């Protein structure tokens, strides 16, 4: 298997095994760059903090091989909700996100944050939120 990174592939074709040296032909082609990315993004979550009736959790996502493409969260195994990057667009290898959860009921809640990179790899992190 190849390590993560950008690769160029060179293909050489020759008909010399079937032809005399003076009539043999050879050609080659170099590919466009191909990205190999098998490593998921690393997702780090801050400890939950309260701001009035809202719980906030900061997420920092880092990918070593390719730019990030999206980030989303799920609360208590609910539907995935997209998150906006702090800088407005998810397009860098490092992005920050803020999850705002207003009006959580009392008890324990599980927050899962998932991020995808350009290679389609997913990384995730979880945090347990305890509301009085």
Query: Could you report the per-residue pLDDT of 56-100, keeping only the tens digit for each?
Result: 999 999 998 889 999 999 999 999 999 999 999 999 999 999 999
pTM of the model: 0.78
What is the rounded radius of gyration, in angstroms, for the C-alpha atoms of the chain? 24
Instruction: Find the angle CA(34)-CA(61)-CA(47) to the nearest 5 degrees.
Output: 165
Q: For residue 77, what is the DSSP state?
A: T
Cα separation, 71 vs 59, in Å, equals 9
18 in helix, strand or coil?
A: helix
Q: How many CB atoms lie within 10 A of CB 23?
A: 9
Q: In this predicted structure, what is the pLDDT of residue 51?
A: 87
Q: How many CB atoms lie within 10 A of CB 67?
A: 16
- Average pLDDT of span 25-54: 91
């Amino acid at each position: 298997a190849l390590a993560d990174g950008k690769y160029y592939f060179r293909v050489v074709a020759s008909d010399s095994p079937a032809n005399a040296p003076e009539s043999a032909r050879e050609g080659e082609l170099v590919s466009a760059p191909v990205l190999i990315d098998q490593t998921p993004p690393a997702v780090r979550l801050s400890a939950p903090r309260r701001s009035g009736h809202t719980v906030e959790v900061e997420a920092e996502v880092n990918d070593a091989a390719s730019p990030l493409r999206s980030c989303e969260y799920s609360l208590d195994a609910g539907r995935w909700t997209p998150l906006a990057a702090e800088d407005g667009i998810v397009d860098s290898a490092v992005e920050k996100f803020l999850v705002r959860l207003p009006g959580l009921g009392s008890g324990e809640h599980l927050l899962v944050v998932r991020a995808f990179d350009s290679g389609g790899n997913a990384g995730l992190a979880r945090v347990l939120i305890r509301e009085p």
